[in-house]
A and B are shown apart, each in its own frame.
Chain A
């Protein structure tokens, strides 16, 4: 027994030496690999380096050794950057970063710290890129883990290299939020969007997303709050404007919406969408005169506004059609003639707007295609009414096409 113990006691330092030899072997192999060329890349050396360093990492005697962590970081960094060997370890970039961080924690003699600090941000870029890849493959937990790892890297990047490569804590929080949405984790999404709101992050989508999450949670008041917050900063943002409109419409609060739009118009009088939306609200309440004023105002700002042209044209067309239908029941010729004069004028009022709606409609969406056909139909009937047969023929041909 004493002999066995002696052997073991004698053997233990040898074991320790053996493990530190593994670290050195890993270092040597890495060195040979780095001397490789494109003609002779020496990939096998990197594979050897990985093998040795993995052994070192598993062994207690070297598991918390700054030198081990240093070389582990560099080996896994090299592995990540090697297109041919990348598949050896799908988590190479994460291991590189963790190794750099642990090296800095354990390097009491500061032999490796400067170099670690100058390289950890590069490893951080790889982690960020990989996080995106994991999220795209729906490996959400891994993606989240990777994103969160970056918060340990930021404090180590004294020269702001990550920032200068467009990776910031805010960007990571945003990425986490969107990944959480994809992963059906609204709580995490909300928490991160809120962090961004608290930091005045300049992106209207965070307010849109918070409003949408609130609506899904049936918290309309919160949704409205976020929309209003977003609109206060991004007063021209069409998504926020439209979202607000839809929320109030869903609640049947047309009057409230009209007031809100009027307030927005006061501070933002050049926004055609605000006038158009208010016009639509007036039209829905059958206040056609006010609707017409707003549609025309929208067109003054943007003569090519498809929806305003279409809505105004159709509004006049329908008014004229109603008048024509009503006139058809008149028995007195004089009365009919007077009524005809009025509805003919109304048709003529409609014409330029419908023509413009046709002109500016690019038919890129299904809605626009439907609108295009509807406009053609309206114009076809209108030209018959006004006797513009050449135009009628052209429209008919377009419809047949």
Chain B
């Protein structure tokens, strides 16, 4: 492009004097809130070093969320240097000049908060949610790692985190069915070579192996400056105080080099691009992706709604053509945009109905059917009702975001980073509300109809193949010569200069009393127990019904495990007077959800609704709960999905581990049973009807209600539930755990296991709120209940064996296990077991340390402030009270117990309830590589087990 250049010389004029830079932050925007219109209050400030600060005040709970978003993700990386942004995210938790190694976790945990980071294509976020009296601590921590990180980056820490990142990839990508197709294969064909989205956020292993400490330091210096960051704070804060604290801690940090805006780069696919990928999966899967528009493009909302209408929910054509027709177990469509490009994706996991040699024909069929679905969508046209349903779903999602301070802080950070203009939740709603039917048709024609897509066909492994190899990641840039990037050279660290002593961790302010919800309770004559509270932060209703029963209503010999799940699946289908699609349409129109599911000994019904639509939603609940349809065609489809789902679970290491561990622990009792193809095949629709009749009873049902509607208005709306009648239900008693005379290793084989899943444990205690179970949970905290627990610091941080390890006591009304759980590097399976047992032995013999006890107390006591914020959290709290018949002040009793607990108390509990010499050690992994090594650990011959 020719640019005209005009340069004119002229004579110097008089000297006018120097300008001075302002040292003060500038208020850029201030918005007063109007919650009814979804306008939330905020102030936007800019510091002289370029840091953008956004403050939203919310005094409903004594908590604060501090979010730092850096406008750098994998898209800023280069070929040959993939995974840097995510790797660096890990390094940001390894300490800085004034914050010791692992101290970040410890300080936040001890404050009772939670924290994490996550790296995406376009951004990296770090957050802390803490009691509001710890705001200054959180700011001190974030500022220290923004301005004072580099000197703490050592080779040792670097190597451990390199191993951890590789473990994370092995656990979350290589060892997960289908993950590689989404994370790597799809992007390689959708985006052209060299496109920033063509490599995975987590990176390629060879790039991770090649990176040096200096590479990462350069990455930090280039991108991690205040001028490339947004600090977003939401919660119980005062904005004037916040500005002063931010200026104090962040003001001296020097900016990084200027960060240009990324250039939007939407790929153009001239023809369909295919990739055929073999994975250790059961269902063949087609992933068809159309390139669309970047986020906040004027067409984005219309394409979002288009994706929802075509492929979300039981009224979509994708559901009808694939799931209802029993061609697929899962099928959906969805649109999502990132900063540089967007993707409308159709995913279909079909039942494996072709012979392996003919499987390509199956993929051809699926592709044709997807295209036929688009044709059908076009011919059918768009109704006002369908469009309104899609918009209502988006409205519900937007309202959900404002129920938590971290949701709000995150969204303000997002808008500032990518839009950099005044924006609020009302604007977000508006851009969807403005979409017309004509817009939907226009974007369909422009981006989908007749356009090319990237199509990944995920093949199950050939059953005739003898290959024992793990799923492979292939770096297409492996042989590319990497030229030095001048942007990343000659970067110098300019240490900030303070006028205060930053090395001192700030003391917290005086704690504020957590706002424990007030609640009301009632019991209807039919036995239904209700507990509820009013929560005014959002115009929303959350109701959770819990029916006690599950599989525990049966004897083991009845062989009916799986029936409870099948029944709850059928309760999600049609009713006596409405089909599944009709019911779904009614719910979608309201933006409501009613969902039945079974977990353990509970069948739950989760209802959510916008408050304005609660009456209509409850009418649908009445229809579903009291008049289920139990249609034969629905049953046939649901049972098929359940059966095929069991086949799929045989490929999922975590599912295998869960089932087998319980089976070994509880033996051949109903507690240890799991659904199998054999038992599932025998279940009939009559069984389902019978289960409903016998066990869906108000006599065993607890209902929790959280809503902005006051009690006197809400409870009368529940009167219809008085019509619900049912029998007494008795559950199988618990008899005993299987006796484990001495620690024994069990091994279950999984093909192509990239990692081993380890479950170690034995029988434990039933739940109690203030007795031995509670004290055991407290005592477990430093062992495996926190990030900086002994187990995690050893196996993840010191040895790099795992991405994460935890231990827990897990009891309900029934005694549950004590267990340790981790997914570890295949080659470190035996070493991991050695280390775990070493920690368990150590802990039981030496007990808790004084520092650990103090940390545990602080952590648990302070955490109470965070427990009552969202409707879901309030519901969880009330559910516990009702379920276990607790007093309102049980948390105060817990606090007293905790404060008084001594080291000897804790040690006694540990010795009494953790027995390393009588453990089940279950390993799910590659038996060919593991068996011999495991037998050398000194626990005798390994017992091989499997699900069949």
Contacts and interface: CB of A to CB of B under 8 A. Distances in A.
Interface of A: 159-161, 163-166, 168, 170-171, 174, 200-204, 234, 242, 270, 280, 283-284, 302-304, 307, 310-311, 314-315, 317-318, 321-322, 324-325, 328, 340, 359-360, 362, 367, 370-371, 374, 377-378, 381, 384-391
B258 interface: yes
B476 to A, nearest CB: 14
B260 A304 contact: yes
A282 to B, nearest CB: 12
Contact of A202 (B9, B10, B12, B451): B451
Max count, chain A CB within 10 A of own CB: residue among B9, B10, B15, B16: B10
B377 interface: no
B19 A388 contact: yes
Contacts of B17: 387
Interface in B249-304: 258, 260-261, 268-274, 276, 297-298
B601 to A, nearest CB: 48
22 contacts: A159-B360, A164-B274, A165-B274, A201-B270, A202-B270, A202-B451, A202-B452, A304-B260, A311-B3, A314-B6, A318-B6, A322-B8, A324-B10, A359-B258, A360-B258, A371-B3, A378-B7, A381-B9, A388-B16, A388-B18, A389-B18, A390-B18
B832 interface: no
B219 interface: no
A385 B11 CA distance: 9
Nearest to B420: A303
Contact of B271 (A170, A322, A328, A385): A170
A310 B273 CA distance: 40
A314 to B, nearest CB: 5
Nearest to B3: A307
Contacts of B19: 388, 390-391
Contacts of B3: 307, 310-311, 367, 371
Contacts of B363: 164
A307 B274 CA distance: 39
Contact of B10 (A280, A314, A370, A381): A381
Contacts of B18: 387-390
Given A270-B298, A325-B10, A381-B10, A242 B1 contact: yes
A371 B5 contact: yes
A284 B268 CA distance: 34
A353 to B, nearest CB: 14
A283 B361 CA distance: 60
A390 B5 CA distance: 26
Max count, chain A CB within 10 A of own CB: residue among B13, B18, B451: B13
Contacts, number: 106
A377 B10 CA distance: 12
Nearest to B275: A166
B274 A163 contact: yes
A377 B258 contact: no
A344 to B, nearest CB: 9
Contacts of A328: 11
B261 A302 contact: yes
A83 B922 CA distance: 47
Max count, chain A CB within 10 A of own CB: residue among B268, B270, B363, B450: B270
A204 to B, nearest CB: 7
A340 B261 CA distance: 37
A362 B257 CA distance: 12
A270 B297 contact: yes
A251 to B, nearest CB: 15
Contacts of B273: 166
Contact of A304 (B4, B261, B487): B261
A321 B268 contact: no
A385 B13 CA distance: 6
Interface of B (DSSP majority class): loop
A161 B10 contact: no
B513 interface: no
B427 to A, nearest CB: 17
A384 B260 contact: no
Contacts of B873: none
- Interface size band for B: 35 or more
Contacts of A304: 260-261
Given A164-B457, A314-B5, A389-B15, A174 B270 contact: yes
B364 interface: yes
Nearest to B5: A374
A304 B258 CA distance: 11
A204 B268 contact: yes
Nearest to A310: B3
Nearest to A385: B13
Interface string B356-374: 0000110110000000000
B342 to A, nearest CB: 14
A389 B260 CA distance: 27
B838 to A, nearest CB: 44
Contacts of B268: 202-204, 234
A362 B271 CA distance: 34
Given A310-B3, A377-B7, 5 more contacts: A202-B451, A314-B5, A321-B8, A371-B5, A374-B5
A389 to B, nearest CB: 6
A121 to B, nearest CB: 11
B232 to A, nearest CB: 21
Contacts of A388: 16, 18-19
Nearest to A270: B298
Nearest to A168: B271
Contacts of B270: 170-171, 174, 201-203
A24 B371 CA distance: 48
Interface in B1-35: 1, 3-19
A370 B271 CA distance: 40
A303 B270 CA distance: 31
A315 B487 CA distance: 30
A15 to B, nearest CB: 42
Contacts of B9: 381
A161 B271 contact: no
Contacts of A166: 271-274
A171 B270 CA distance: 9
A374 B3 CA distance: 12
B894 to A, nearest CB: 54
Contacts of B361: 159
A340 B270 CA distance: 58
A321 B457 CA distance: 64
Nearest to B364: A160
Contacts of A325: 8, 10
Question: Would you list the 7 A-B pairs with minimal beta carbon distance, nearest first?
Answer: A387-B16, A203-B270, A321-B8, A304-B261, A164-B274, A318-B6, A359-B258
A166 B269 CA distance: 11
A164 B6 contact: no
A362 B258 CA distance: 10
Nearest to B272: A163
A270 B12 CA distance: 41
Contacts of A200: 450
Given A164-B360, A304-B261, A381-B9, A387 B15 contact: yes
A369 B296 CA distance: 32
Contacts of A159: 360-361, 364
B1 A307 contact: yes
Nearest to B11: A328
A143 B723 CA distance: 80
A246 B4 CA distance: 14
Interface in B112-128: none
B16 A386 contact: yes
Nearest to A300: B421
A374 B7 contact: yes
Contacts of A367: 3
A303 B271 contact: no
B81 to A, nearest CB: 18
Contacts of B261: 302-304
Interface in B437-486: 450-452, 457
A377 B6 CA distance: 11
Contacts of A164: 274, 276, 360, 363-364, 457
